[in-house]
């Protein structure tokens, strides 16, 4: 039986060409026209952090600025140095060729760390039910970094007056907003750095209360560009983490507005899922998501240009009526799904091998490769394809035709993901890979 207190309820991702940029580029660049109100959320000062939160499972997200955490004290640093055991939850391959997800737990006592690991497995299972995660689970490693708390549970659960002493400072009612679940991001970064690699960081707070947050503007020096928080035992909080990865991995903008009159008059947004252009203009100019216009989208309806997004009611268009970047519980739309797959491959490779390419092999050595789902391997000797070896994942150089002539030859394996869900050439280039070994005949 699980032991709980009573509770209610490395890489900083570079933009792909000019199509994937910072999540808040549209807000930062926005100006107003015709007397419209300015962008609803100002950029934070150095003493503040901008966070995204969710008022309910079916509601649009909102933004707020909250006080930034204080620098870690010597006592904090000493405590973190003596904590933070790392456990692999999912191991799909080497960290330099997979997308590494790091889960941290808060509000788990020393006796509850196995509960934390069980919660990771349950949360990851829910996250990977959502496409395109479901089709690409083999690209991910998942790590648990234990953070031992003195108290079980988190502050603000069930009511604002409840305070608990936890390793990462998780607290509902952050800045007076009940569902906003904040953490000490300095402590999160220190714990996350203990993992072998971190491309995506998720904090699970030991609670059944609905809530979470996205820190997509955190200035991180350890290699990832955002932190998501979510309740460990709320059945719908996994959607918060998935939405936040739309920002951090897909570089997608929010597709909602604040329901207040406001007209965007700034430049064309850099994000792939917002545009000042109509569907006809996109098609005529062959820009933004024109390749998807008129196609049935997994989030419902057809891809077009729907007014409202990037926090503005007017002046910006989104691809579909209601994707997960607008409302939780939905799917990624077609342009969003394309961006997510490309984002996966910015961190993970379509082709990996445990046979290193730095050392010279013999004709009798065995080369084994692992392609991503649906990718087919082709083999080459000295640049010429060996057609008979197509699709094979294990070969010996001699069987490929490397001659026993005492000279050095090359054996190359190539693979590409044939998915039709990525159509943009600038993004497709990330869906292929090659490995080359030198072989002495």
Closest CA to 137 of 344, 419, 380, 409: 344
Q: What 3-state DSSP class applies to 400?
A: helix
Q: So what's the pLDDT on residue 44?
A: 45
Phi, psi of 26 (to 5 degrees): -65, -40
* Tokens found for residue 186: 């300095």
Q: So what's the pLDDT on residue 219?
A: 52
Mean pLDDT in the chain? 88
On whether the CB atoms of residues 181 and 174 are closer than 8 A, the answer is yes
On whether the CB atoms of residues 195 and 143 are closer than 8 A, the answer is yes
Neighbouring CB atoms inside 10 A of 261's CB total: 13
Assess whether pLDDT exceeds 60 at residue 348: yes
Interior angle at CA 307, CA 304 and CA 311, nearest 5: 125
CA 133/CA 142 separation, integer angstroms? 13
**Would you place residue 58 in the very low, low, confident or very high pLDDT band (cuts 50, 70, 90)?**
low
CA 220/CA 12 separation, integer angstroms? 8
How far is C-alpha 404 from the chain's CA centre?
47
What residue spans define the domains of the chain? 1-348, 351-440
* Tokens found for residue 151: 């108290």
Higher pLDDT, 261 or 74: 74
Assess whether pLDDT exceeds 90 at residue 375: yes
Q: Report the percent of the chain where pLDDT is more than 90.
A: 78
On whether the CB atoms of residues 38 and 28 are closer than 8 A, the answer is no
Give the right CATH number for 1-348 from 3.40.50.850, 3.40.50.300, 3.60.20.40, 3.40.390.10: 3.40.390.10
CA 204/CA 102 separation, integer angstroms? 10
Q: So what's the pLDDT on residue 163?
A: 97
Q: What is the dihedral of CA 69, 71, 75, 77, to 10 degrees?
A: 100
On whether the CB atoms of residues 144 and 112 are closer than 8 A, the answer is no
Assess whether pLDDT exceeds 80 at residue 17: no
* Tokens found for residue 439: 């072989």
């Amino acid at each position: 039986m699980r032991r709980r207190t009573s509770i209610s309820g490395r890489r900083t991702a570079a933009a792909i060409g000019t199509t994937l940029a910072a999540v808040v580029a549209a807000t930062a660049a926005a100006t107003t026209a015709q007397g419209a109100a300015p962008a609803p959320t100002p950029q934070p000062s150095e003493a503040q952090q901008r966070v995204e939160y969710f008022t309910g499972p079916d509601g649009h997200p909102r933004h707020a600025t909250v006080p930034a955490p204080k620098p870690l004290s010597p006592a904090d640093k000493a405590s973190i140095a003596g904590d933070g055991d790392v456990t692999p939850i999912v191991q799909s391959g080497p960290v330099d060729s997979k997308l590494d997800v790091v889960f941290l737990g808060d509000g788990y006592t020393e006796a509850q760390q196995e509960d934390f690991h069980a919660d990771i497995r349950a949360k990851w299972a829910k996250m990977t039910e959502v496409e395109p995660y479901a089709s690409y689970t083999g690209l991910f490693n998942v790590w648990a970094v234990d953070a031992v708390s003195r108290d079980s549970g988190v502050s603000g659960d069930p009511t604002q007056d409840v305070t608990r002493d936890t390793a990462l400072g998780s607290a509902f009612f952050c800045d007076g907003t009940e569902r906003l679940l904040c953490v000490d991001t300095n402590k999160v970064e220190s714990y996350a750095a203990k993992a072998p690699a971190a491309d995506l960081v998720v904090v699970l707070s030991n609670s059944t209360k609905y809530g979470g947050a996205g820190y997509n503007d955190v200035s991180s020096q350890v290699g990832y560009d955002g932190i998501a928080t979510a309740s460990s035992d709320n059945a719908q909080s996994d959607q918060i983490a998935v939405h936040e990865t739309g920002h951090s991995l897909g570089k997608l903008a929010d597709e909602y507005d604040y329901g207040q009159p406001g007209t965007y008059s700034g430049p064309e947004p850099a994000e792939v899922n917002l545009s000042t252009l109509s569907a006809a203009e996109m098609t005529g100019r062959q820009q933004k998501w024109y390749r998807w216009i008129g196609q049935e989208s997994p989030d419902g309806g057809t891809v077009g240009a729907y007014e409202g997004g990037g926090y503005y009611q007017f002046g910006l268009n989104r691809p579909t009526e209601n994707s997960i970047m607008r409302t939780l519980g939905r799917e990624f739309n077609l342009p969003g799904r394309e961006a997510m797959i490309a984002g996966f491959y910015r961190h993970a490779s379509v082709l990996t091998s445990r046979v290193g390419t730095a050392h010279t092999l013999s004709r009798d050595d065995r080369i084994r490769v692992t392609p991503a789902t649906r990718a087919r391997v082709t083999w080459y000797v000295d640049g010429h394809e060996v057609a008979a070896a197509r699709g094979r994942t294990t070969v010996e150089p001699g069987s490929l035709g490397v001659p026993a002539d005492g000279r050095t030859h090359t054996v190359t394996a190539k693979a590409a993901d044939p998915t039709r869900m990525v159509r943009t050439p600038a993004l497709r280039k990330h869906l292929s890979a090659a490995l080359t070994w030198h072989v002495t005949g």
